[in-house]
Structure 1
């Protein structure tokens, strides 16, 4: 199987920028396994489309507000960080993806909306990649992300994370 098997052209005007607002009324497309026939439904129809022997797996994880913007101490410019995972057990050092990573060097400091400061530190394996390790003076908690972060939306969604 190749990822190209899943490619299809989707005109931009058909990409929903917001959920429908009425639970169950979002669109659902079914692709026939044997004949490739495409049929359209509403999510409300899902229970009648599932056979009794179907195994369903649900993802009930919560999306972390992991996109955070820091102001670079030396220039005053805003820099976007996507917090991926903690590196240390104390939750003070985080692996991040950062915009313009080549320009973000160890020792650079960034101030986040609540006034906290994160410093880029050396992290083996991050050289030459878009990843940077960011160290804080205290534990970064879920509350910190709620105060300072934004929900990461995919690039085809052209709106703020309201």
Structure 2
């Protein structure tokens, strides 16, 4: 398979630049993975498609304000740092721009000296390991100086930081939001709970690897970056109990999907614990846990459209995307949603 097999035409004006005021008023395209049949609904209608005895798996990661703008010591030149992954204490793996001048030993100052860092190593993909120096609590300083790491295709300023968080975000560590979860409100989750649907929490800290473009023509040559995940014993038990009882496992977002599939044994039962995953799901993959998926509309030729194609079939997915373009759905992080299900 080549990356061109997952290409589609997308007018630039369909890329959503701002979130809707009401999270649950996004549009919802319902796709039957078996037949390719489609329905057009509103996201809050998702409750109608969930049945008592189902399990909804959500990713409770929290996005950190990971983008820092600083000045290089000595020259005052502007430097942008995007925090990707905490390695230990005050050492982070980061993306540094401009990269050519970000040599080992370079020092960068933020907020007039409130925070400084030194580049201590160049690692894979040209990323840097940076060590931070400060007085006080790092998270509080980051909250004060950092910006939300919105994807490059979103050019508008985000007025409210919380709109790039899910309402159930809990554990800090993501460099990007698990965007399928942005459509849920607390009221909608209460309705789902009252209907007898089990809600299970998993944690996967989203890195930029999920969103990096596939550069190789042959998708099998693409290397996924590792992301940290964790599943508590009681949450694994919820998923496994529903599976045993014949209920559906419905993941909210590709991150929840990748978490449960990474943690599953050969019989499709989820093991509690934590680790790093580099799982790459593309057509031909046999899902061990997931039965249905709530997701957003993804970039052409991305690993995410490959994942949804593995679930619903490439032809069905590309036809659904063509329909979404025709019907003027909003795409990507702040866009509309899709529910991939079956009979």
Question: For this structure pair, what is the TM-score category when the shorter chain's length is used for normalisation?
Answer: 0.7 to 0.9
Question: Which position in structure 2 is the counterpart of 1:135?
Answer: 131
CA offset at residue 112 of structure 1?
0.7
Alpha carbons 1:150, 1:161 under 8 Å: kept: no
2:157 to 146, 153, 160: 160
Structure with higher helix content: 2
Q: Could you say which structure has the greater relative contact order, defined with CA pairs below 8 angstroms and 6 or more residues apart?
A: 2
Question: Which position in structure 2 is the counterpart of 1:120?
Answer: 119
Alpha carbons 2:73, 2:107 under 8 Å: kept: yes
Give the secondary structure class of the aligned counterpart of 2:44: helix
Alpha-carbon separation, structure 1, partners of 2:145 and 2:49: 41
Alpha-carbon separation, structure 1, partners of 2:40 and 2:7: 18
1:144 to 130, 141, 165: 141
Alpha carbons 1:24, 1:42 under 8 Å: kept: yes
Alignment pair present for 1:92 and 2:125: no
CA offset at residue 82 of structure 1?
0.9
Alpha-carbon separation, structure 2, partners of 1:10 and 1:31: 19
Alignment pair present for 1:41 and 2:41: yes
CA offsets 1:110-150 (integer angstroms, 9 cap, x no match): 11125221111135xx16x3311111234762212211111
State the Cα RMSD in Å: 2.5
CA offset at residue 52 of structure 1?
3.6
Question: Which position in structure 2 is the counterpart of 1:77?
Answer: 77
The farther-off stretch of 18-27 and 62-71 is 18-27
Alignment pair present for 1:55 and 2:55: yes
Alpha-carbon separation, structure 2, partners of 1:48 and 1:80: 45
Alpha-carbon separation, structure 1, partners of 2:23 and 2:13: 22
* TM-score of the two chains, using structure 1 as the length reference: 0.82
Give the secondary structure class of the aligned counterpart of 1:98: strand
Question: Which position in structure 1 is the counterpart of 2:22?
Answer: 22
- Change in 2 beyond 3 A, CA 1:15/1:53: farther
The farther-off stretch of 21-30 and 63-72 is 21-30
Alpha carbons 1:108, 1:120 under 8 Å: kept: yes
Alpha carbons 1:100, 1:130 under 8 Å: kept: no
- Change in 2 beyond 3 A, CA 1:4/1:35: farther
Alpha-carbon separation, structure 2, partners of 1:2 and 1:55: 34
Alpha-carbon separation, structure 2, partners of 1:51 and 1:5: 34
CA offset at residue 51 of structure 1?
3.5
* TM-score of the two chains, using structure 2 as the length reference: 0.42
Give the secondary structure class of the aligned counterpart of 1:142: helix
The alignment of Structure 1 onto Structure 2 pairs a total of residues equal to: 157
Alpha carbons 2:121, 2:130 under 8 Å: kept: no
